[in-house]
Chain A
Amino acid sequence: GEDVEQSLFLSVREGDSSVINCTYTDSSSTYLYWYKQEPGAGLQLLTYIFSNMDMKQDQRLTVLLNKKDKHLSLRIADTQTGDSAIYFCAEVRTYKYIFGTGTRLKVLA
């Protein structure tokens, strides 16, 4: 299909790791992106990975890319209450962004 797919909800306890998964469709994407939307706000770029990389680490964030399966994941280590938000993965096709459905992460104290 043409959709970028994510599970809708994820709930974790504070201090645990969160893993948000995404399945994309266009293997020609140069970059793949993760955006974060906090309550009442627009989307902000969280991190991205170049398509010829398998992994990218940025402080508490780890992005894993499996090009064969067209699977992208975002791991947040030591999840905090401030990480509660909606997370969108996105790919770019012919300069056009295609966003996933978004995963709402709820962090329980």
Chain B
Amino acid sequence: DVKVTQSSRYLVKRTGEKVFLECVQDMDHENMFWYRQDPGLGLRLIYFSYDVKMKEKGDIPEGYSVSREKKERFSLILESASTNQTSMYLCASRPTGEEKLFFGSGTQLSVL
């Protein structure tokens, strides 16, 4: 089975801190995604990557950046965390040519 692993289940950070959220997938998928999930808003795409060192902005990239140095790892970076970035963050991957997404379990981030 495909496994998408997010390094932290819960994270508490302070306003202004730099935050790294890590995601690793073990099935050699080309495409990786970062979403945030908020009640009543569903999932919103922050950034995605279709290859190593490639990245594309999603719908809400402001305040975030990403890094994809290796195929299996996609990192989401909050340069200076703010309280409105408190949310559930979900990583997903999929192989090129298929539409099915495989999700990690999510990281609940609280910014105080």
Contacts and interface: CB of A to CB of B under 8 A. Distances in A.
Given A31-B99, A92-B99, A41 B105 contact: yes
A92 B31 CA distance: 15
A100 B45 CA distance: 12
Given A31-B99, A45-B100, A92-B99, A40 B105 contact: yes
Given A92-B99, A101-B40, A42 B104 contact: yes
Contacts of A42: 4, 90, 92, 103-106
B12 interface: no
Interface residues of B, number: 17
A82 B35 CA distance: 26
A41 B106 contact: yes
Contacts of B106: 40-42
B103 A44 contact: yes
Interface string B26-66: 00000001010000111101000000000000000000000
B66 to A, nearest CB: 16
B81 to A, nearest CB: 22
A96 interface: yes
Interface string B78-112: 00000000000010100000011101111000000
Given A42-B4, A42-B90, A42-B106, A102 B101 contact: no
Contacts of A97: 33, 43, 45, 101
Interface in A39-96: 40-45, 88, 92, 96
22 contacts: A4-B42, A8-B40, A30-B99, A31-B99, A40-B105, A41-B105, A41-B106, A42-B4, A42-B90, A42-B92, A42-B105, A43-B43, A43-B92, A45-B101, A92-B99, A97-B33, A97-B43, A99-B35, A99-B43, A101-B42, A102-B42, A102-B43
